[in-house]
Amino acid sequence: MEHNDQLIDVPRGLSGVAVAETAISDVRGLEGFYQYREWPATELARTSTFEEVWHLLVAGHLPDPVELAGFEARIAAARQLPELGEVLDAASAVPGPDPVAGLKAALPLLSARLGMRPVYDLDDEGRLTDAVTLAAATPVLLTGLHRRRAGLEPLAPLPGRGTVAQYLYQVTGHEPSVAHERALSAYLVAAMDHGFNASTFTARVIASTGADVASCLAGALGSLSGPLHGGAPARALDSLDEVGEASRIEPWVRGQLATGRRIMGFGHAVYRTVDPRAVLLSGVARELGGPRVAFALEFEQTVERLLAELKPGRELHANVEFYAAVVMEQCGIPRELFTATFALARTVGWTAHVLEQARDRKIIRPSARYVGPPLAVPVGDAAH
């Protein structure tokens, strides 16, 4: 039996508490660094393809050319499953402009249609098959939902192109440039995983019960949909739109800080120095260029200067959401798909964590400290 006097107090939000061991990724907030397995994550984002890093996270190592070809064939086959059409028909009934809501319904539907079983009942290869199938289906489902809701006809896949190019093509309706494909790939790789964030932890808690992979992903998507997690990138662009021009940046920022309102896209729960993902993506944005990028760079410089002035002693810098929004916009992704695009990347990381958690048969079951009213009658008297 659990008793309150046997529990250990932990910080609110479990901040700084290690709740499990993982070999997938590590985030060092004080250093401004994170890694995927033995590789610096931002370096992978600069030099590796989406599929290569996907293989690294779920299979444990970067693939050689033969392994990569086999993995890409496995992904391509999953994206051509005939069941995807009927699942899209059903998920399209979910209201709202954000296809993430439809995806939350679509993945369990696809899982049921394919007869996927709980991870508790599968071996490693069976779990990997389900994980890759669902992650591979995710961009097809997201873009299919988007095109249906926009009244657009479906497009045949681009021959010989990978995940990122296919996604951009389905979203924008035209074959993406190499620059846009490379820019979005850098963002997606950088966003694949990031330690035990809220959605990843959600996926692992569900996986610890032995549930099927789709249930883990649906729960993670619910967590991601919150504005304090995956819903932030679009809000960062809202700030740029509200300010409008360079001369209004400083008075707008001072007004926000004076009234205690948060400036979306700045500060991070883990990093106490610069966010390495923001550094990466600001460089990507500079390479893309254009007036919007120039305005965003000036906005960032002004916000950071005023934060240092008005909130001394606190390390508050642009985070990944700020430049992710700029990069996605420059690549032609509409604002209503920002969270969906983040989900596309993070689904890969979630599946890696589900696979890792499934090898541990111990359910995640913390306790809570009861702070409600005392019993109205003593325990012994209540028994009578």
Kindly state the tokens that stand for 96.
């709202």
Closest among 219, 178, 180, 214 to 199, alpha carbons compared: 219
Kindly state the tokens that stand for 359.
């090898």
> Is the CA virtual torsion 350, 355, 356, 360 positive or negative?
positive
Amino acid 268: pLDDT: 72
CATH topology of domain 232-330: Cytochrome p450-Terp; domain 2 (1.10.230)
Task: For residue 40, list its beta bridge partners.
Answer: 35
Catalytic residue among 55, 194, 229, 268: 268
Cα 196 to Cα 189: distance, rounded to the nearest angstrom: 17
Catalytic residue among 321, 329, 353, 356: 321
Measured CA to CA in angstroms, residue 351 lies from 23, 64, 189, 315 at distances of 14, 21, 14, 32
Amino acid 36: pLDDT: 98
Amino acid 117: pLDDT: 98
Amino acid 331: pLDDT: 98
Does the 23-227+336-358 domain belong in CATH 3.30.470.20? no
Average pLDDT for consecutive 10-residue bins of the chain (384 residues)?
64 86 93 95 98 98 98 96 96 87 96 98 98 98 96 92 97 97 98 95 98 98 82 79 94 92 79 86 96 95 89 81 94 94 97 98 92 87 57
Closest among 50, 199, 268 to 276, alpha carbons compared: 268
Please list, in sequence order, all residues whose beta carbon lies within 8 angstroms of the beta carbon of residue 318, skipping any fewer than 6 positions away.
Answer: 265, 266, 274, 275, 278, 282, 300, 303, 304
Amino acid 1: pLDDT: 38
Amino acid 383: pLDDT: 55
Q: Are 329 and 237 in contact (CB under 8 A)?
A: yes
Cα 138 to Cα 107: distance, rounded to the nearest angstrom: 8
321 catalytic residue (yes or no): yes
Nearest 5°: the CA angle 14, 16, 19 is: 65
Task: For residue 318, list its beta bridge partners.
Answer: 266
Amino acid 382: pLDDT: 54
Cα 82 to Cα 84: distance, rounded to the nearest angstrom: 5
Cα 309 to Cα 312: distance, rounded to the nearest angstrom: 6
In the chain, where are the structural domains located? 23-227+336-358, 232-330
CA atoms within 13 A on the CB side of 256: 19
Other beta carbons less than 10 A from residue 372's beta carbon: 5
